[in-house]
């Protein structure tokens, strides 16, 4: 996939309804396959899979079921269906062939069945760690003596077993009774991955050194430990080069800002067995291939598992394939650049991706902040692929990644993702001509939707549609962000961000909360249509334009409710072609804003009460006495529907049915 700025096209308005209609026409125009599978009816054959089955069977009846879904994948031809019976399947399914547009291949949970494809393997054989074991460990790590770990061992709460989980600790994930534990670390974060206990660098911190009187471990204790830091928009990882009581010094200062900021940089330290002392914690020694687990009782009384596979379905070489009604645990699904016509429907996925190393040795800003954006969560690459009606949660990176062109994510519920706090998102949108509609996204590390427009080699680019999404609980682990965030210096070909409800961000920091908005067109994004969005609880308002760099040009900001902020739009030529019409809510940065070329008109003055139906209850429709009635510039396709002759200001037209955002369940 190439990434280059597309030459500036002509502008124009394109509503959500119009774009959806055009997509429907495109979909309907896809020709049927010219050569259906020989000797087969349009219905195709049905194969059955059950945990009690055998792969040597025919698979053609429930009584002759295969044991593995992969066996279905090996034999199915276009038009065939694999019906999967209840059970857990520990496998990665790689289709032997694709379906066709007329005869897709389908993998479907049987009626009433609960099907899970798991990326884990059981971990068994735990035995209590003894004082003698601590003494042996202390020969390699003398700080294990007289530590929180040794105290937990003495209390009978630490167990261990032989386990080969690979050489990279940062990809290890351990589960007890289907709930992920956390690697032993300081401070103990708790088990809510989107609400960890945070520790901040104190006065005296600078460059690559974190100073904090809470660092009470002896000198040298933290040497070689892994450090996670977070400040402003940057979450990063590094290695502790040296440590003393009250401070640790990293091998390199955090990327992008190149310094530790007192009272602002959060941090956590991991990789030392001495911290293994709290519920849900584990420690893995890759050299000894041994897993240590804190448990209040014998782990044999629980189901302990470790992640061993990334993919449940590897569809990177598959097209015209449907996966329906299955669950994913500690695994995900991925299509490839040539995939087309893939449909993922009613997927219930948890723990879609996991990693704890963000920087991976890099020192540049770009690769650090974008860790996980293009390759985590459920990844839809290629063209004309869809994920719909799915429930997705718990991912270090994305819930969904859209790559390629003309892919769709609709009617999904996504929550508790991007727990590493990078530019990954509930839905990360790359490529172009993508459709993201009617999703409900909540509790995310940074943004609900991260929109990064770029071209795809060999394909004609087009505009994206981001509409009717309900997003809340964003900015939990990162700032300078929005529910819908887009950056940087791209002409977006009239991409429409409309009819979204963007509310109640939850920044964890108690100090700076800069840049938290509903929609943020950052660092020179241009040729966007931002219309009919509603927000509340956003420090910078429902919309924020930042023209830093290449300027904020040819953007249409129409009929939004909730206010906005304007940055870097005032210099000559910095905001030419941008129109801000018909909005309700205070506009920050108004002074001199038009000097850069943008046009402001028919926005309700901040001091005027719009007389909403119930602002406290977030019902921002207009009452009969509202001064916003009949005051808008008419924009066909944007503010149609009012029962008044002249359209209303704001996101809801007076007298029109109230539009609703989010997924339907």
pLDDT tens profile 331-367? 999 999 999 999 999 999 999 999 999 998 888 999 9
Region of residue 87 (left: phi > 0; alpha: psi -120 to 50; beta: else): left
Q: What CA–CA distances, in Å, run from 265 to 207, 251, 258, 320?
A: 11, 16, 12, 47
- In this prediction, residues 68-82 reach a mean pLDDT of 98
Share of the chain above pLDDT 90, in %: 92
Q: What is the DSSP letter of 405?
A: B
Give long-range contacts, CB 8 A cutoff, 24+ apart: 287-291. 289/162, 289/163, 289/164, 289/165, 290/160, 290/161, 290/162, 290/163, 291/123, 291/160, 291/161, 291/162, 291/163, 291/165, 291/174
Average pLDDT, the chain: 93
Q: What CA–CA distances, in Å, run from 43 to 49, 75, 102, 553?
A: 19, 16, 10, 52
Structure tokens at 576: 């030419």
- In this prediction, residues 617-641 reach a mean pLDDT of 98
233: which residues sit within 8 A by CB, 6+ positions away? Answer: 256, 369, 446, 478, 479, 480, 481, 515
* CA–CA distance, 431 with 381 (Å, rounded to integer): 9
- In this prediction, residues 371-400 reach a mean pLDDT of 98
| b/e code 439-458 from CB counts within 10 Å (16+ = b) | bbbbbbbbbbbbbbbbbbee
Q: Where are the beta strands (DSSP E) in 145-246?
A: 158-162, 174-176, 179-180, 182-183, 185-186, 199-200, 209-211, 226-231, 234-244
* CA–CA distance, 579 with 554 (Å, rounded to integer): 7
HSE-CB of 527 using CA atoms within 13 angstroms: 20
* CA–CA distance, 620 with 9 (Å, rounded to integer): 35
pLDDT tier at 510 (50, 70, 90 boundaries)? low
pLDDT tier at 499 (50, 70, 90 boundaries)? very high
Structure tokens at 67: 């044991």
The pLDDT value recorded for residue 511 is: 66
pLDDT tier at 515 (50, 70, 90 boundaries)? confident
Q: Is the peptide bond before 187 cis (omega within 30 degrees of 0)?
A: yes
Beta strand 321-324 with 105-109: parallel, antiparallel or unpaired? parallel
The pLDDT value recorded for residue 514 is: 77
* CA–CA distance, 564 with 154 (Å, rounded to integer): 58
Closest of 204, 47, 233, 221 to residue 149, by C-alpha: 221
Closest of 116, 106, 87 to residue 47, by C-alpha: 106
The pLDDT value recorded for residue 442 is: 98
615: which residues sit within 8 A by CB, 6+ positions away? Answer: none
pLDDT tens profile 1-56? 333 333 333 333 333 333 333 333 333 333 333 333 333 435 799 999 999 999 99
Give the 3-state secondary structure of 308-365: CCCEEEEECCCCCEEEECCEEECCEEEECCCCECCEEECCEEECCCCCCCCCCCCCCH
- In this prediction, residues 96-123 reach a mean pLDDT of 98
The pLDDT value recorded for residue 39 is: 35
Beta strand 564-567 with 543-546: parallel, antiparallel or unpaired? parallel
> How many CB atoms lie under 10 A from the CB of residue 511?
11
- In this prediction, residues 115-125 reach a mean pLDDT of 98
Higher local confidence (pLDDT), 112 or 511: 112
pLDDT tens profile 161-175? 999 999 999 999 999
pLDDT tens profile 519-543? 999 999 999 999 999 999 999 999 9
Give the 3-state secondary structure of 550-619: CCCCCCEEECCECCEEEECCCCCCCCCCCEEECCECCEECCCCHHHHCCEEECCECCCCCCCEEECCCCE
The pLDDT value recorded for residue 18 is: 37
The pLDDT value recorded for residue 613 is: 98
Partner residues linked to 498 by β-bridges: 467, 531
Q: What CA–CA distances, in Å, run from 183 to 74, 189, 273, 357?
A: 38, 10, 10, 12
* CA–CA distance, 422 with 430 (Å, rounded to integer): 15
pTM for the whole thing?
0.93
* CA–CA distance, 569 with 648 (Å, rounded to integer): 27
pLDDT of 71 over the 70 cut? yes
> How many CB atoms lie under 10 A from the CB of residue 55?
14
CB 484 within 8 A of CB 471: yes
Q: Is the peptide bond before 488 cis (omega within 30 degrees of 0)?
A: yes
């Amino acid at each position: 996939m190439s990434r280059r700025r597309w030459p500036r096209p002509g502008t124009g308005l394109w509503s959500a309804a119009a774009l959806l209609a055009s997509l429907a026409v495109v979909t309907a125009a896809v020709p049927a396959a010219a050569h259906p599978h020989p000797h087969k009816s349009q219905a195709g054959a049905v194969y059955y899979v059950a945990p009690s089955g055998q792969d040597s069977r025919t698979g053609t009846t429930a009584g002759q079921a295969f044991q593995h879904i992969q066996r279905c994948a090996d034999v199915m031809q276009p038009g065939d269906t694999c019906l999967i019976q209840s059970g857990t399947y520990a496998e990665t399914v790689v289709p032997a062939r694709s379906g066709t547009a007329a005869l897709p291949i389908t993998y479907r949970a049987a009626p009433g069945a609960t099907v899970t494809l798991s990326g884990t393997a059981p971990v068994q054989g735990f035995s209590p760690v003894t004082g003698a074991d601590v003494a042996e460990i202390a020969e390699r790590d003398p700080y294990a003596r007289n530590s929180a770990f040794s105290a937990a061992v003495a209390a009978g709460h630490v167990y261990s077993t032989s386990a080969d989980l690979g050489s990279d600790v940062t990809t290890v994930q351990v589960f007890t009774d289907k709930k992920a534990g956390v690697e032993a670390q300081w401070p103990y974060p708790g088990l809510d991955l989107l609400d960890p206990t945070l520790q901040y660098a104190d006065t005296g911190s600078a460059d690559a050194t974190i100073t904090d009187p809470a660092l009470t471990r002896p000198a040298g204790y933290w040497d070689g430990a892994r450090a996670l830091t977070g400040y402003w928009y940057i979450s990063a990882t590094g290695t502790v080069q040296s440590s003393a009581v009250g401070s640790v010094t990293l091998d390199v200062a955090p990327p992008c800002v190149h310094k530790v900021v007192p009272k602002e940089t959060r941090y956590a330290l991991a990789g030392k067995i001495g911290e293994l002392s709290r519920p849900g914690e584990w420690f893995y020694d890759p050299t000894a291939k041994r897993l240590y687990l804190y448990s209040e009782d014998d782990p044999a009384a629980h189901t302990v598992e470790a992640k061993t596979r990334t993919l449940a379905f590897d569809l990177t070489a598959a097209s015209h394939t449907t996966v329906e009604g299955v669950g994913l645990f500690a695994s995900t699904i991925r299509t490839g650049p040539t995939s087309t016509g893939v449909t993922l429907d009613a997927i219930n996925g948890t723990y879609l991706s996991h990693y704890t190393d963000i920087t991976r040795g890099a020192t540049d800003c770009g690769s650090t902040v974008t860790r996980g954006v293009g390759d985590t969560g459920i990844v839809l690459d290629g063209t004309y692929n869809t994920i719909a009606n799915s429930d997705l949660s718990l991912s270090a990176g994305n819930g969904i990644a859209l790559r390629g062109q003309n892919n769709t994510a609709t009617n999904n519920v996504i929550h508790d993702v991007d727990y590493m706090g990078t530019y990954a998102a509930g839905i990360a949108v790359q490529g172009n001509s993508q459709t993201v509609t009617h999703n409900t996204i909540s509790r995310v590390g940074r943004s609900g939707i991260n929109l990064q427009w770029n071209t795809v080699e060999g394909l004609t680019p087009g505009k994206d549609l981001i509409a009717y999404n309900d997003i809340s609980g964003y900015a939990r682990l990162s700032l300078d962000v929005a529910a819908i965030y887009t950056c940087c210096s791209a002409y977006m070909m009239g991409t429409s961000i409309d009819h979204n409800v963007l509310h109640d961000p939850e920044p964890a920091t108690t100090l700076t909360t800069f840049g938290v908005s509903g929609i943020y067109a950052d660092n020179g994004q241009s040729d966007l249509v931002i219309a009919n969005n509603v927000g509340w609880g956003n420090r910078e308002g429902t919309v924020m334009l930042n023209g830093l760099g290449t300027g904020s040009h040819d953007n249409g900001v129409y009929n939004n409710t909730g206010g906005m902020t304007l940055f870097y739009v005032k210099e000559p030529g910095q905001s030419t072609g941008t129109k801000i019409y018909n909005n309700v809510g205070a506009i920050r940065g108004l002074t001199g804003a038009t000097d850069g070329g943008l046009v402001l008109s028919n926005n309700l003055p901040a001091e005027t009460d719009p007389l909403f139906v119930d602002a406290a209850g977030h019902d921002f429709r207009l009452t009969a006495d509202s001064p916003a009635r009949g005051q808008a510039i008419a924009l066909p396709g944007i503010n149609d529907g009012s029962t008044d002759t002249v359209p209303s200001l704001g996101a809801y037209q007076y007298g029109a049915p109230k539009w609703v955002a989010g997924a339907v369940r």
